[in-house]
Amino acid sequence: MSTVKETVEVDVPVHTAYNQWTQFEEFPNFMEGVEEVTQLDAQHNHWTTKVAGVRREFDTEIVDQLADERITWRTTTGDTRQKGTVRFERLDDSHTKVELVMEVEPSGAVEKIGDLVGTIDRRVKGDMQRFKQYIEERGTESGAWRGRVRPGDSGPAV
């Protein structure tokens, strides 16, 4: 597995940055290669991506979520294997540090080559910069989910 880490400072309060990140169906607006995210329930999402002409579908599960602090997930189905955490740190009343750490296991020749030449790192860096632009231009979140998910919780699949 490759580990990718990227941090951005956003010019919005911590609750705004966090709330926007809980709106998974909005991810195609700032994540390159993400065509669609369908939120199945509070803990489960179905993803459709297309990177370098390769379409993948997979499911993720939120395994730990604490409002204004962190969201941790892992894949549960599909060819894509990844897990990660996004953390939110209040810097002051109107600035937040957002740190994304992901472990990605490339599947298939295209992904493995892309990993070797740094494509995953560049894409994540771009995604974080686009998130910064997206939330700062909006100035407010498009929605929010403030629930708590603890490791070991299991929500109903829809």
Is 100 exposed, middle or buried, given 0-12, 13-18 or 19+ CB atoms closer than 10 A? buried
Residue 74 near residue 58 (C-beta atoms within 8 A) = no
pLDDT at 158: 33
> pTM of the full predicted structure?
0.89
> How much is the average pLDDT of 154-158?
47
> How much is the average pLDDT of 39-64?
93
Report CA-CA distances (Å) from 21 to 35, 45, 51, 131.
17, 13, 22, 9
Q: Which residues contact 7 (CB under 8 A, 6 or more apart)?
A: 97, 98, 99, 100, 128
pLDDT at 28: 97
Angle at 27 between CA 10 and CA 104, to 5 degrees: 90
pLDDT single digits (tens) 98-149: 999 999 886 765 565 555 555 778 989 999 999 999 999 999 999 999 999 9
> How much is the average pLDDT of 17-33?
97
Q: How far apart are CA 62 and CA 9, in angstroms?
A: 24
Helix (H) or strand (E) holding 128: helix 119-138
Percentage with pLDDT > 70 across the chain: 88
Question: Which of 33-37, 51-55, 109-113, 121-125 holds the top average pLDDT?
Answer: 33-37
